[in-house]
């Protein structure tokens, strides 16, 4: 009986070690002052080989597009919309449509006007979905807090 329980425990431990959570996208953040009253917030995704995340501009019926939302603040106002570099666009059989995405890495940029005095922290969250040629992970949401120095 002891051997059976030990074997079951070992088997359970081995299956738990094998079931890893996939996290192919790694986010980093920075801000750069461009003048005493303006800054650019940088949101970078470093994407594992073989994976990609989607553009902010994906048509309905496709994958979950990357969405950046900024918390309202009296310390800053957004200037324009969040910018992204030119994505790769291709037909994806999974969605039956052309989609735009980024592989390896992408930097999203948002200009802000600083309206407060003293230290400013830009906060918000982003939603994204990561896929490879075999599967897509469920959409994920990540909060960010970016000090502007």
| CATH number for 79 | 2.60.40.1250
Q: Is residue 86 part of a domain?
A: yes
Q: Is residue 119 part of a domain?
A: yes
Q: Is residue 3 part of a domain?
A: no
C-alpha distances out from residue 83 to 11, 40, 42, 101, 110, Å: 49, 11, 10, 14, 6
Alpha helix locations (H) across 1-149?
A: 2-18
Total domain count for the chain? Answer: 1
**Structural domain of 105:** 23-148
Q: Is residue 78 part of a domain?
A: yes
Q: Is residue 5 part of a domain?
A: no
What is the spatial distance between Cα 80 and Cα 115, in angstroms, rounded to a whole number?
16
Q: Is residue 8 part of a domain?
A: no
* pTM given for the model: 0.84
Q: Is residue 48 part of a domain?
A: yes
pLDDT at 88: 97
pLDDT at 71: 97
- The one-digit pLDDT tens for each residue of the chain (149 residues) are 444 433 333 333 443 444 568 899 999 999 999 999 999 999 999 999 999 999 999 999 999 999 999 999 999 999 999 999 999 999 988 889 999 999 999 999 999 999 977 889 999 999 999 999 899 999 999 999 999 98
Q: Is residue 73 part of a domain?
A: yes
pLDDT at 94: 81
What is the spatial distance between Cα 135 and Cα 6, in angstroms, rounded to a whole number?
35
């Amino acid at each position: 009986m002891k051997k059976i329980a030990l074997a079951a425990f070992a088997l359970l431990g081995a299956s738990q070690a094998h079931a890893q959570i996939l996290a192919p996208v790694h986010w980093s953040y920075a801000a750069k002052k461009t003048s005493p009253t303006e800054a650019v917030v940088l949101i970078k995704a470093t994407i594992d080989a073989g994976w990609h995340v989607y553009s902010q501009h994906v048509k309905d019926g496709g994958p979950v597009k990357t969405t950046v939302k900024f918390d309202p603040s009296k310390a800053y106002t957004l200037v324009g919309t969040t910018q992204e570099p030119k994505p790769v666009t291709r037909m994806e059989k999974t969605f039956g449509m052309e989609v735009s995405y980024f592989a390896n890495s992408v930097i999203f940029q948002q200009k802000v006007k600083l309206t407060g005095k003293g230290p400013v922290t830009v906060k918000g969250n982003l939603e994204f979905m990561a896929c490879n040629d075999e599967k897509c992970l469920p959409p994920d949401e990540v909060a960010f807090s970016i000090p502007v120095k």
